[in-house]
Chain A
Amino acid sequence: DAKTTQPTSMDCAEGRAANLPCNHSTISGNEYVYWYRQIHSQGPQYIIHGLKNNETNEMASLIITEDRKSSTLILPHATLRDTAVYYCIVRVRETSGSRLTFGEGTQLTVNP
Chain B
Amino acid sequence: DTAVSQTPKYLVTQMGNDKSIKCEQNLGHDTMYWYKQDSKKFLKIMFSYNNKELIINETVPNRFSPKSPDKAHLNLHINSLELGDSAVYFCASSQFSTPGQGSGYTFGSGTRLTVV
Contacts and interface: CB of A to CB of B under 8 A. Distances in A.
Given A99-B33, A104-B42, A44 B96 contact: no
A43 interface: yes
Q: How large is the interface on A (under 10, 10 to 19, 20 to 34, 35 or more residues)?
A: 20 to 34
Interface stretch (A19-27, A75-83, A88-96): A88-96
15 contacts: A34-B104, A36-B104, A38-B43, A41-B110, A43-B108, A43-B109, A44-B43, A44-B105, A46-B103, A49-B104, A93-B102, A94-B95, A94-B97, A99-B56, A102-B43
B75 interface: no
A46 B104 contact: yes
Interface of A: 32, 34, 36, 38, 41-47, 49, 85, 93-97, 99-102, 104
Pairs of residues from A and B, 6 with the lowest C-beta to C-beta distance, nearest first? A46-B104, A43-B107, A102-B43, A96-B50, A96-B96, A97-B55
Nearest to A99: B45
A36 B90 CA distance: 14
Contacts of A102: 42-44
A7 B45 CA distance: 23
Contacts of B33: 99
A47 B102 CA distance: 12
Nearest to A107: B41
